[in-house]
A and B are shown apart, each in its own frame.
Chain A
């Protein structure tokens, strides 16, 4: 399956022989809100129920957690002012959030959303699903990608591949027609912005360049409008509710409704009532556009840079594709049209196209889509810290992945046994201005005079955009041990522990669902049998048969409340057997032939 793990909403899709399709939940809903909450019973829940809890008990819910993936507390101080989350101590390299009585990291919280999607897919197929392609913003760095992969593992998924969201979207678009030429994908979602420029050629999707901002999206528009509304409310009501989490969440929902309305209507009413007070405000489109212009403007510089990096000119772009819910805003469409001098495409639902593309990539990996091949790039340059904190770039941004670079390291002091390599990601010259990725410790170097050891280190960015480092001693040819100390994110041990914990939960989830399904079957046969006991046929069967039915009925009623689906199922089957003759008799002779082979549930 293919999963779009979004900031605001998430979706899951699969390949239906030739075409990707979105999987709906039991209620027929496609979209799973990326919200996780702790129920009053102390259980974690994700999706719609969690989104409802966010309104009534915001202190027990987390949303937009994607913005915190692969981050430390220092990265998000500003952001956290707007979120009602309780961040606990020890969040320097991984943010830890208190949710009810538990303390969770962003990958664990995202894993809950993934688990919800997994359950929806399992409900759809009626069997366990363990493999998935998950999408990430193209501009995600290594730590953010690793965190997403961790989330998948914690949710019990074998993450086959991380695919960049705009690239996934292009796969969904490219599927329809044998498209050729240069395509720009403009992806403005809930929390992130990506621009990718691709060259399509006979089923090959070659990304030429990508750029973006992992901190720019619909959330920013919401926060801006909330901020303004809070000031208005303070003036009108004489009361500052900005610290009232429940109030702010209700206002958030009202603001989002108004924002959505403004995409189709020239004017919207922001209607907010809270604790018996009312705040209404008309917003017309010109005002809305004036307010958000600055945010939309911020998408343009990444677009220009991507065009430059792709070594093309705007006029070479044949098509522009819109992705992400925020591209429904008319001003966004106008801005894109001006920037690319072309009317953008939006035939596919911009909220679904990424999940559909993820399913296509899953199909490629499964060998179903053999003619298609995706050649993606790394969004950020990879470098190592050298003397004086200067970055030496090893792999440049927009290099096609997998990409590799090799460097030979040596010691500076006689007998030195360790060499520490600091790897960073980013475009700036100084280490301090780039994103620290990890420190790699070359250990157990044989003692030699300074400068003599020769350790060849290979940096490989894999097809997921994640860095792998291996090293070997050039003299002996032996593999050199490397210890990885990630600057942000979880260690492998931490992820393993979380997986163990989650396997228990996943098994419980699966068992629970099987019990629910078995009970539904039991409900059906119990109701049918009870009804049949009033039927004339009940007195036509023998005393022994009636006794056997009553016994089977009681046994099923007792099994019903056991959390054991196998027991329930076997009792359902017993009752089915016991009522077989009764069911036959109940059939009217005239319709008997038509109903042959039916059981009691169908003739009652």
Chain B
């Protein structure tokens, strides 16, 4: 995803270094995206973001980059506008959602989101997850008596999810203050935990409907 980042770039039109993110500062032509999502929005790599300001930037950049604006320009520029807007849209979608934003930052530091495996069960939840899986098995085989147990579990995990979201917010704050590896590790484990709980909830909800 980020293969283009960090390469030295020259403007496709005038051959000089464009110096700015979206348009060449010499010839004003639209440039292909070469920065990460934060920089594309002119933001520092911070995780606590003013969503209102982000939206305003998104609208402002959309007006300048959108393919509709380049519709009567040569094919090359039209294609550039599609690429730039796709990057802008992908960036906005990622940055406006806290979870996606956190995962993206980790990705920038080489910490890929882990695939969900049973070994990733947060240790303090092991017992409850085991009971829950039993209950899920039973309801799938038609035993409706475990329904109250599932409803109870659902409420519990929903509470846990809320707690996790608070921890995530705390992790974000820590990163913004310290930009430390510790903060990244913390966010990483919170996001894994969150992912795990969310999947569990999805399974429970699927059976309760």
Contact = CB atoms under 8 A, between A and B. Distances in A.
A and B pair up: yes
Interface of A: 160, 201-202, 204, 206, 364-367, 373-375, 399-406, 456, 460, 462-463, 474
A456 to B, nearest CB: 7
B59 A204 contact: yes
Given A402-B85, A474-B3, A367 B71 contact: yes
B86 A402 contact: yes
A364 B72 CA distance: 11
B82 interface: yes
A75 to B, nearest CB: 26
A399 B71 contact: no
Contact of A367 (B72, B82, B83, B89): B72
Given A462-B82, A463-B67, A404 B3 contact: no
Given A364-B68, A463-B68, A474-B3, A373 B93 contact: no
Contact of A201 (B59, B90, B92): B59
A366 B69 CA distance: 9
B89 A402 contact: yes
Interface in B52-86: 59, 62-63, 66-69, 71-72, 82-83, 85-86
A202 B82 CA distance: 22
Contact of B89 (A204, A401, A406): A401
Nearest to B72: A367
Given A365-B71, A404-B87, 16 more contacts: A204-B59, A364-B68, A365-B72, A366-B72, A367-B72, A375-B66, A399-B93, A400-B92, A402-B67, A402-B82, A402-B83, A402-B89, A403-B86, A404-B83, A456-B3, A460-B86
Contacts of A403: 86, 89-90, 93
B86 A406 contact: no
Closest 5 CB pairs of A and B: A402-B86, A404-B86, A400-B89, A365-B71, A402-B82
A354 B192 CA distance: 45
B209 interface: no
A373 B87 contact: no
Contacts of A460: 82, 86
Query: Size range of the interface on B?
Result: 20 to 34
Contacts of A399: 89-90, 93
A463 B82 contact: yes
Nearest to A160: B71
A400 B90 CA distance: 8
Interface of B: 1, 3, 59, 62-63, 66-69, 71-72, 82-83, 85-87, 89-90, 92-93
B185 to A, nearest CB: 26
B66 A373 contact: yes
A478 to B, nearest CB: 14
A187 to B, nearest CB: 22
A491 B114 CA distance: 40
Most B CB atoms within 10 A — which of A206, A400, A462? A400
A201 B59 CA distance: 9
A405 B62 CA distance: 19
Given A367-B71, A367-B72, A399-B93, A202 B59 contact: yes
Contacts of A405: 90
Contacts of A463: 67-68, 82
Contacts, number: 55
B161 to A, nearest CB: 16
A153 to B, nearest CB: 18
A201 B90 CA distance: 20
B62 A373 contact: yes
Contacts of A204: 59, 62-63
A451 B92 CA distance: 33
B103 to A, nearest CB: 14
B207 to A, nearest CB: 15
A404 B88 CA distance: 10
Given A402-B89, A462-B82, A375 B62 contact: yes
Contact of B93 (A364, A365, A400, A474): A400
A122 B63 CA distance: 33
Contacts of A202: 59
7 contacts: A202-B59, A204-B63, A399-B90, A404-B87, A456-B3, A463-B67, A463-B82
A462 B83 CA distance: 9
B63 A373 contact: yes
Most A CB atoms within 10 A — which of B87, B92, B93? B93
B61 to A, nearest CB: 11
A466 to B, nearest CB: 12
A365 B68 contact: yes
A462 to B, nearest CB: 6
Nearest to B85: A402
Contacts of A160: 71
A365 B69 CA distance: 7
Nearest to B97: A311
A374 B59 CA distance: 11
A406 B85 CA distance: 15
Contacts of A406: 1
Contacts of A456: 3
B199 to A, nearest CB: 12
A405 B86 CA distance: 9
Most A CB atoms within 10 A — which of B83, B86, B89, B92? B86
A148 to B, nearest CB: 19
A404 B67 contact: no
A160 B68 CA distance: 10
A20 B153 CA distance: 56
Contacts of A364: 68
Contacts of B62: 204, 373, 375
Nearest to B92: A400
A124 B71 CA distance: 26
A456 B93 CA distance: 22
A250 to B, nearest CB: 45
A206 to B, nearest CB: 8
B53 to A, nearest CB: 14
B67 to A, nearest CB: 5
Contacts of B72: 365-367
Nearest to A399: B93
Nearest to B81: A402
Contacts of B71: 160, 365-367
Contacts of A375: 62, 66
A298 B82 CA distance: 36
Contacts of B68: 364-365, 373-374, 463
Nearest to B55: A201
Most B CB atoms within 10 A — which of A364, A406, A462, A463? A463
A433 to B, nearest CB: 14
A477 B146 CA distance: 57
A92 B3 CA distance: 41
Contacts of A201: 59
Contacts of B83: 402, 404
A400 B62 CA distance: 11
Contacts of B85: 402
Contacts of B82: 402, 460, 462-463
Nearest to A396: B93
A374 B68 CA distance: 9
A406 B5 CA distance: 14
Most B CB atoms within 10 A — which of A204, A366, A367, A402? A402
